[in-house]
Structure 1
Amino acid sequence: MLRRGWTWLQNKITTKARNFVLKVLAAGPIPRHVGFVMDGNRRYARVHHKAVWQGHSDGFVALRRILEVCLRLDVKCVSAFAFSIENFKRSEDEVNALMKIAEEKLIELSSHGDLLEEYGVRLNIVGRKELLPEAVQKAVAKAEEMTRHNDRAILNLCMPYTSRDEIVTAVESCVRNAEDMPDEIRISEDDIDAQLMTTLGGSPPLDVLVRTSGVKRLSDFLLWQGCENTQLQFSDSYWPDFGLLDFIPIILDYQRKVWTRTIS
């Protein structure tokens, strides 16, 4: 009983300290849109002698943890790269495990009284949803419908997704829209931007792109959305280990650069 009480007290102190730090950070400029390449789940699993599926499951726990941090900072949009179209080339066992985890976590995230409802978050599944197993598609439809009325923040869960596929799809939509026009077909950057999956979901421009696990590449994620002022941040932590202490320097660096631009 005493041990349980001590654990509760430690968690309470930790939560209070976290909330205080976030309140201080929130006094400065905060990015409206943060994207995460959630890399390192498999390497994390190997280091901790876990099955690969456990690494991916712990990765979803990390997403929930960092999403709450972002929401407390009043970040308006979070985009997370959960599954690439290219990931279908992985082993059947790993893909099936990922799909099962996705189904379970989608239902959990969108359930009554959970995180998305508490913070008024609208969930958008961004990508080729028709490539997902039927059970996952049903979970996607239910989760999106249950959060459709939320308007305080957005979570883009990108699965299965690649940026090149998103751009091609946007161009195809532009061409179809232009076919009914009598004049010469002209497609501008604004036309393509208006047809992007993230834009259609109401997402603001991307301010910060974070990749974990020490790998420094973009992996075909939000390539169009990355603009002149998008800040790239790379963390050495594996995604399941990524937390507040990893995120604080990223926010501080964002604030420093914003203030520098403002002064200059």
Structure 2
Amino acid sequence: MLLRRGWTWLQDKIYTKARNFFLNILAAGPIPKHVAFVMDGNRRYARLNRKAIQEGHSDGFVALRRMLEVCLQLNVKCVSAYAFSIETFKRPEEEVSALMKLAEEKLVELTENGDILDEYGVRLNVIGKTELLPESVQKAVRRAEDRTRHNNRAIFNLCMPYTSRDEITTAVQSCIRNANSRDSEEPYITEKDIDAQLLTNLGGSPPLDILIRTSGVKRLSDFMLWQCCEDTQLQFSSTYWPDFGLFDFIPIILDYQRKVWSRRIEVS
């Protein structure tokens, strides 16, 4: 038993030193301000590892914490994560209930302990049609957001339940209301007006630099369609989300840095 504990401690020590070494190297280059994750593959990961679907989602939250901390250590100013879609409510009731329970549990942890968000000065924004959530989860959302409202060094957007089409529709509706309130004869809405009313921008998020989707699926699945339509780099990883870690992330950041340096050379 002692030998096993000693070996585990040594492995953790080696991993921590290796992680810090690579993070220091990456930090020497340009760092994206905003990184978003489509956390795909929890269910396939669970089936592959002969686990219950709920365990796959739970392991996915562990991966989210891991990658959030990596991003914050690199001084990424904003991280967005697609926790679940509005369409998720069409899944089997048992799976939806487990997701709601897990979401509430993790939000309560943030509320009670502060944890990683206070350590790095992160403000939590829960983005989406939150009125669709059970009342207990809505209360946990409000507590967690209030608990981190004073943090101002970084932003964490937890998108749930979210779809980009709903976000854009809500933004257009807000623009129409604002235009009508100005009593102008012909209300005129611009692209900038809509952009300013997006849920991410209302929360203070910078433009999206990198969008990463795991599990080998190459589609956006109604996530941040407006935000990634211009200069965002799309990256697709074959790794299932619960297994996604630093060494999957390093090539993505290096590719981002290479492209930034290439643009700088072209401009000069």
TM range (shorter): over 0.9
Q: Match of 1:232, SS?
A: strand
Aligned to 1:147: 148
Deviations 1:42-80 (A, max 9, x none): 000000000101000000000000000000000000000
Residue ranges of structure 2 left out of the alignment (5+ in a row): none
2:49 matches 1:34: no
> What does residue 210 of structure 1 align with?
212
Q: 1:105 to 1:139 in 2, by over 3 A?
A: same
Partner Cα separation in structure 1 for residue 31 and residue 216 of structure 2: 24
Question: Partner residue of 1:116?
Answer: 117
| Secondary structure at the counterpart of residue 160 of structure 1 | coil
For the pair 1:98 / 2:71, whether they are aligned, the reply is: no
Amino acid at match of 2:161: P
Partner of 2:12: 11
- Give the superposed CA RMSD: 0.9
Question: What's the counterpart of residue 76 of structure 1?
Answer: 77
Q: Deviation at 1:132?
A: 0.1
Contact 2:57–2:99, Cα closer than 8 Å, also in 1: yes
Which residue number corresponds to residue 86 of structure 2?
Answer: 85
Residue 15 of structure 1 deviates from its aligned partner by 0.6
From 195, 198, 205, the counterpart of 2:197: 195
Specify every segment of 5 or more residues in structure 1 that has no aligned partner in the other structure, as ranges: none
Structure 1 contact 214–236 (Cα < 8 Å) conserved: yes
Q: TM-score, normalised by structure 1?
A: 0.98
Question: Contact 1:110/1:116 (CA < 8 Å) preserved in 2?
Answer: no
Q: What letter is aligned with 2:203?
A: G
Contact 1:127 1:159 in 2 (8 A): yes
Moved over 3 A (4+): none
- For 2:209 and 2:144, locate their aligned partners in 1 and report how far apart those are by CA, in whole Å: 26
Aligned partner of 1:173: which letter? Answer: S
2:262 aligns to what? 260
Per-residue CA deviation, residues 114-152 of structure 1 (Å, 9 max, x unaligned), is 111111110000000100001100110110000000011
Q: Which residue of 1 aligns with 2:50?
A: 49
Q: Residues 241-256 of structure 1 correspond to what in structure 2 (within 5 A)? A: 241-256=243-258
Which residue is equivalent to 2:164?
Answer: 163
Retained in 1: the 8 A contact 2:209–2:232? yes
**Higher mean C-alpha deviation, range 226-235 or range 35-44:** 226-235
Rounded Cα–Cα distance in structure 1 between residues aligned with 2:171 and 2:230: 21
Contact kept, 8 Å, 2:41 with 2:240, in 1: the verdict is yes
Given that residues 214 and 234 in structure 1 are in contact (C-alpha distance below 8 angstroms), is that contact kept between their aligned partners in structure 2? yes
Asked if 1:223 is matched to 2:225, the reply is yes
- Secondary structure of the residue aligned to 2:81 is strand
Residue 12 of structure 1 deviates from its aligned partner by: 1.5
State how far apart, in whole Å, the 1-side matches of 2:183 and 2:60 are: 50
Whether 2:91 is the aligned partner of 1:67: answer: no
Distance of 2:175 and 2:189 partners within structure 1? 7
Shift of 1:106: 1.1
Partner of residue 238, structure 2 = 236
Q: TM-score scaled to structure 2, two decimals?
A: 0.97
Structure 1: distance between partners of 2:243 and 2:162: 24
2:181 counterpart SS class:
coil
Deviation, structure 1 residue 35: 0.6
Change (3 A) 1:110 1:249: farther
Question: 2:136 aligns to what?
Answer: 135
